Amino acid sequence: MSNGLAEKIRDKTAMVGIIGLGYVGLPLINAFVKAGFTCMGFDVDQTKVDRLLAGESYIKHIPSETVAGWINGKHVFPTADMSRLSEADALLICVPTPLNDSRDPDLSYVSGTAEAIAKVLRPGQLVVLESTTYPTTTRDVLLPILESSGLKAGRDFYLAYSPEREDPGNPDYSAAGIPKVVGGIDETSSQLAADLYSHSIVKVIPVSSLEVAEACKILENTYRAVNIALVNELKTLFDRMNIDVWEVVDAAKTKPFGFQAFYPGPGLGGHCIPIDPFYLTWLARRQGMSTRFIELAGEVNSRMPEYVITRLGEFLNDIGKPIRGSKVCLLGMAYKKDVDDPRESPSFELMELLLARGADLTYNDPHIPSLPKMRHHNVPEMSSQELTVEFLQAQDCVLIATDHTAYDCDFIVEHSSLIVDTRNATKNVTSGREKIRKA
């Protein structure tokens, strides 16, 4: 049975099904289409499916022209009909894995997807989980649901884990250009998954088990979260000592070994870095252990929005103004520069803190024209304001939360009375530096 799937993968006649057409799934489709495969795209959100069928993209780094090419060339078939999952030879699961209100893993999207697959699972299919999660998820959560179909993994169908490694907004790394770690439930599953990805991904890294592949992803993102926490904590110390932490980091990174630069910010954003460490601490508690180092890093990073607003209040106070009633424009709602991805963005926390303190708040983000609804935030209806001379002059404070390339910082500083910069976006501004405060 595996020989038949291997042959389809080898000659690119295998139908690749991508479940979850978001910031991971859509770039993955792009990689497989470029490699010569035909894809089916599955999503429970009919609006996404309809937009794709109309040749329209809803993700900035996948142009609508690309999507229209998929549809017109019959390379991609989007659908919300999960009964059609049996039509794909390989099913790659790219659904969200958020935290619940108690900051425990919420695997409802993964288990719901597994239940949908189990209803129509047929012999010879390959199922790969890509969603970020804790080690043992594929074996302990996904596998039993899939085998409730009556089919046996490794005999009737094949199961693997391969963590997504998307870096939205980074032109140097597309989905196809980042090496892919792959671990299977058995050797055949691992080989089939590796063979599939090898057509569309620059390099495949096979590992010995599902759990190693899952732990790899957790390590990558926890590593970043811990190091960002370190520089965030140093920022609060160096601020008190009137030392520029960004200059310190830039000086330190001239060392050609033993140091990698991480930079402070107003908090963590994106789907992975703010979430993955909590997956690991939850897993540790289940094993009767505590991960104090990781938990401390999470505490440091989660405090940063409050720290930024406290500093903003101090800077306004220096010019005789309280936060209440002051006009504050928040620059950037996306979690990182040059993307339209608002997931877990600290800007929403900054917004809530400012509104709670009575600020007259507006925002600008060239990539997010109106504010989306967010799972953990009460988001007001608000649209991005144009950064005209008159608008900037009317603000008491401009808070830079995301350093989009589109921002003309010289222009913004020139026409603003106070800038609070959390990203060092104004580092090259030469005129009007007396208006700039770092936070």
Amino acid at 31: A
- Which among 272, 329, 397, 409 is annotated as catalytic? 272
161, 314, 330, 396 from 317: Cα distances, Å:
53, 5, 18, 11
pLDDT > 90: percent of the chain: 80
Is the pLDDT assigned to residue 216 strictly greater than 80?
A: yes
pLDDT band of residue 396 (cuts 50, 70, 90) is very high
Instruction: Please compute the mean of the pLDDT values over residues 235-241 and round it to a whole number.
Output: 96
Assign domain 2-208 to its CATH architecture: 3-Layer(aba) Sandwich (3.40)
Q: 398-425: per-residue pLDDT in tens? A: 999 999 999 999 999 999 999 999 999 9
Domain with CATH 3.40.50.720 in the chain: 2-208, 224-438
Structure tokens that stand for 151 in this block: 């089919």
Cβ burial of 438 (10 Å; 0-12, 13-18, 19+) is: buried
Instruction: Please compute the mean of the pLDDT values over residues 309-321 and round it to a whole number.
Output: 97
Please say whether the dihedral angle defined by the alpha carbons of residues 79, 82, 83 and 88, taken in this order, is positive or negative.
positive
Do the bridges between strand 436-438 and strand 419-421 make them parallel or antiparallel, or are there none, so unpaired? parallel
Domain 224-438 is found in CATH 3.30.530.20: no
Is the pLDDT assigned to residue 322 strictly greater than 90?
A: yes
Q: Active-site residue 397, yes or no?
A: no
pLDDT for the residue 271: 60
Cβ 159 vs Cβ 330: under 8 Å? no
Instruction: Please compute the mean of the pLDDT values over residues 129-136 and round it to a whole number.
Output: 93
Q: Is the pTM of this model over 0.85?
A: yes
Is the pLDDT assigned to residue 173 strictly greater than 70?
A: no
Is the pLDDT assigned to residue 270 strictly greater than 80?
A: no
Query: CA-to-CA distance for 107 and 93, rounded, in angstroms?
Result: 12
Query: CA-to-CA distance for 220 and 277, rounded, in angstroms?
Result: 10
Q: 353-363: per-residue pLDDT in tens? A: 999 999 999 99
